[in-house]
A = this chain, B = another copy of it.
Amino acid sequence: MKKDVKNVSMAVIRRLPKYHRRLKELMDKDVTRISSKELSVMIGFTASQIRQDLNCFGGFGQQGYGYDVAELYGEISRILGLTGEYNTIIIGAGNLGQAIANYSNFEKKGFHMLALFEKNPRLIGLQIRDVPVLDIDELESFCADKKIDIGVICTNKESAQDVADTLIKLPVKAIWNFAPADIQVPESITLENVHLSDSLYIISYLLKMNEME
């Protein structure tokens, strides 16, 4: 039973990876079925919210029984697009770029890391796992005959917008931005930011609040 999935709010979407992760844990423990009630205890959302969330995409459960863990995991994988294949390039082969290239789980989920691009000559020529570090000047020629889905920005904030503009021209469909900058992209491009400093500043805020009490 598929639903019109167009109008699902981002609040719901952003919870899906957590369901995905938790269901994987259950599978690893050979748990085959789970109720929204049990899941709510382990995941920290209300049972009501879990049922609401899942029903945005279809009725995956069974009254009186609950949800089949493997089936639900498969459905969420599909909803998240993890059954697809995505060509990915990384701009900036510093520690962060290398960390992402090294993370083999992404490859397993269909995110193919084709290459890293770098301007620092000391890094050009390296291999991260089996991913080559190429000269940034080779970016256009390398991508000329390829369809690139995702461009990952792992540069400093000063270069971020220029790199984004280059990626948009290639074109890429999505930009995953790790630079601590707010980059501008056309509406047609998916932009997802990972602002590490934002996250650290929230910790700082919460620490300060705790001390005030």
Contacts and interface: CB of A to CB of B under 8 A. Distances in A.
Nearest to A78: B208
A98 B95 contact: yes
A204 B86 contact: yes
A192 to B, nearest CB: 5
Interface string A194-213: 11111111111111111000
Interface stretch (A62-70, A103-111, A137-145, A162-170): A103-111
B80 A205 contact: yes
Contact of A21 (B43, B81, B180, B203): B180
Interface stretch (A9-17, A31-39, A46-54, A119-127): A9-17
14 contacts: A6-B209, A18-B182, A21-B182, A22-B182, A80-B205, A82-B204, A84-B204, A84-B207, A96-B99, A109-B201, A173-B210, A174-B206, A192-B199, A192-B202
Interface of A: 5-6, 13-14, 16-18, 20-22, 25, 43, 79-82, 84, 86, 94-96, 98-100, 102-103, 105-106, 109, 111, 149-150, 173-174, 176, 180-182, 190, 192, 194-210
